[in-house]
Amino acid sequence: MYWNKDHECITRERLEEVQLQKLRQTLKRAAGSPFYKAKGIADYTIKDLSDIRKLPVTTKQDLRDAYPYGMVCTPIDDVVRLHSSSGTTGTPTVVYHGTNDIDNWTELVTRCLYMMGLRKNHVFQNMIGYGLFTGGLGLHYGAERLGCLTIPSGPGNTKRQLKFMKDYHTTAIHIIPSYALHLADTLESAGVDPKKEFPDFKFAILGAEPHSEETRQKVEKFFGIEAFNSYGLSEMNGPGVAFECPERKGMHIWEDAFLVEIVDPDTLEPLPQGTKGELLLTTLNREVMPIIRYRTRDLTSIMPGSCACGRTHARLERFSGRSDDMMILKGVNIFPMQIEAILIGIPGVGRNYQIILEQKGNNDHMIVRAEIDPSINVDAYRSLEKLRERITRELRDEILITPEVDLCEPGSIPVAQGKAVRVIDRREL
Ligand code: ADP
Ligand code: ZN
């Protein structure tokens, strides 16, 4: 049941001792980098874990400014790999790893995969980008350590993905949620029943982008599988940071590898357990490039109570998006996830959507483009009109703004090779 019971079920008391010792070591190491040296990181004393709040935060901009080697705290000879973020929000940032860093990262990913039920006899098809993006290689190493037959299929090329799944009897896939919905669309349009076509298929790991509970359920129902939420970011290695256990009530974040804080994004004051805020993370194992109090911009909360699986590491609630994803329209704060949750719950709505923001005179205007379900008859115009009305009404109730709803044919909204582009903002700044 556990990949490493001692680590996964560690008592809180022991965990805090380990964290304190690792935090002190991290500060010592970090002082070797030009960036943290300039911050005077060696001058801080850590008496207990709450002293972390005295330390300066690190932002994505800091990582960019430190390009290329400003955050590396060891000789470059000790670096064996670099990865960079996918650049969803601007210039990519680079993260460097030494041999032990890769080993520790792999161990965390293996822990996650074992936790969700993957074993040596599984066939794991990794439909996520290899290369600079961390999702491909990160999961790949973990699955190999577990002993799975690991297929580095990468993203895209849907026909080939489906052929591999069938021919190699794939049992588990790693996939970006928006692409999982696209796979489902492709199969449905071709009239293929996935349960008959892929009888061995059991698990999907959905990661790399925010997605709603409704999306998870849609994927599970269509393929007849279980889907697990996986959270990671390149600054903290990549995948393997937080992952769902079989209880699937929140994602365990590995607190022996990352120190977790949830803060108010405006004041950086700590928030009580259960309150949603920005996640700050500090690496505890990283040797080549430790990062202290990284502002992830991702919004979540720590779930109260303990998990029935027996693991003691805190659980993060499903992410509602990043603070930079938030749209402000007519003074109302809206997250794309709110719109996704509504769309996906309405029968007749397909699996791909896009939000377009425009300016009409002095007013903000939102257009929600949604594909219709491939099984709907496009000529049945009257029912489409009803569908449009229902979407408009349900969205208005959720976001308090009346969007223009544009229904389009399945396949007409482009599918990204990597993370989906959900919002197109054409407003003047
Ligand atoms: P970039 O910042 O360029 O997108 P990464 O590839 O490192 O770079 O992406 C990490 C980000 O992806 C996270 O900070 C988070 O916003 C998002 N993300 C990853 N996994 C999930 C998940 N399971 N749920 C919600 N968001 C996720
Ligand atoms: Zn659990």
Task: Determine whether the shortest distance from the Cβ of 304 to ligand 1 is under 6 A.
Answer: no
| Domains within the chain, CATH numbers bracketed | 1-322 (3.40.50.12780), 327-425 (3.30.300.30)
Task: Determine whether the shortest distance from the Cβ of 230 to ligand 1 is under 6 A.
Answer: yes
Measured from the Cα of 207, ligand 1's closest atom is 23
Q: What pLDDT sits at residue 277?
A: 96
CA 281 to each of CA 94, 275, 303, 328: distance values in angstroms, whole numbers, following the listed order:
17, 17, 17, 27
CB 122 within 8 A of CB 139: no
According to DSSP, the residues that pair with 259 across neighbouring strands are 282
Nearest to 292 by CA among 13, 18, 6, 46: 46
Task: Determine whether the shortest distance from the Cβ of 136 to ligand 1 is under 6 A.
Answer: no
Task: Determine whether the shortest distance from the Cβ of 325 to ligand 1 is under 6 A.
Answer: no
Per DSSP bridges, beta strands 315-316 and 327-329 are: unpaired
Q: Which ligand is nearest to the CA of 252?
A: 2
Ligand 2: centre distance to CA 251 (Å): 8
CB 179 within 8 A of CB 210: no
Ligand 1: centre distance to CA 208 (Å): 5
- The backbone torsions φ and ψ at residue 227, rounded to the nearest 5 degrees and listed phi first, read -115, 140
Task: Write down the pTM of the prediction.
Answer: 0.91
Residue 297 burial by Cβ neighbours in a 10 Å radius (0-12, 13-18, 19+): middle
Question: Which strands, in side-by-side order, build the sheet including 226-231?
Answer: 149-151, 123-126, 172-175, 203-207, 226-231, 242-244, 251-253, 315-316
Of the residues 63, 88, 325, which should be mutated to test ligand 1's pocket, given the most ligand atoms within 8 Å of the CB?
88
Q: Which ligand is nearest to the CA of 233?
A: 1
Task: Determine whether the shortest distance from the Cβ of 228 to ligand 1 is under 6 A.
Answer: no
Task: Determine whether the shortest distance from the Cβ of 322 to ligand 1 is under 6 A.
Answer: yes
- The backbone torsions φ and ψ at residue 423, rounded to the nearest 5 degrees and listed phi first, read -120, 130
Task: Determine whether the shortest distance from the Cβ of 278 to ligand 1 is under 6 A.
Answer: no
CB 173 within 8 A of CB 165: yes
Task: Determine whether the shortest distance from the Cβ of 243 to ligand 1 is under 6 A.
Answer: no
Residue 307 burial by Cβ neighbours in a 10 Å radius (0-12, 13-18, 19+): middle
CB 322 within 8 A of CB 298: yes
| Nearest CA owner, ligand 1 atom 10 | 233
Q: What pLDDT sits at residue 204?
A: 98
pLDDT tens, per residue, the chain with 429 residues: 999 999 999 999 999 999 999 999 999 999 999 999 999 999 999 999 999 999 999 999 999 999 999 999 999 999 999 998 755 666 678 999 999 999 999 999 999 999 999 999 999 999 999 999 999 999 999 999 999 999 999 999 999 999 999 999 999 999 999 999 999 989 998 999 999 999 999 999 999 999 999 999 999 999 999 999 999 999 999 999 999 999 999 999 999 999 999 999 999 999 999 999 999 999 999 999 999 999 999 999 999 999 999 999 999 999 988 887 888 888 788 999 999 999 999 999 998 999 999 988 878 899 999 999 888 776 665 678 999 999 999 999 999 889 999 999 888 998 887 888 899 999 876
Q: What pLDDT sits at residue 129?
A: 92
Ligand 2: centre distance to CA 178 (Å): 26
| Nearest CA owner, ligand 1 atom 4 | 88
Nearest to 43 by CA among 31, 58, 26: 31
What are the residues whose beta carbons fall under 8 Å from the beta carbon of 252, sequence distance 6 or more? 115, 242, 243, 244, 245, 307, 311, 313, 314, 315
Report the SS3 class of residue 311: coil
Q: What is the 3-state secondary structure (H, E, C) of 374-387?
A: CCCCCCCHHHHHHH
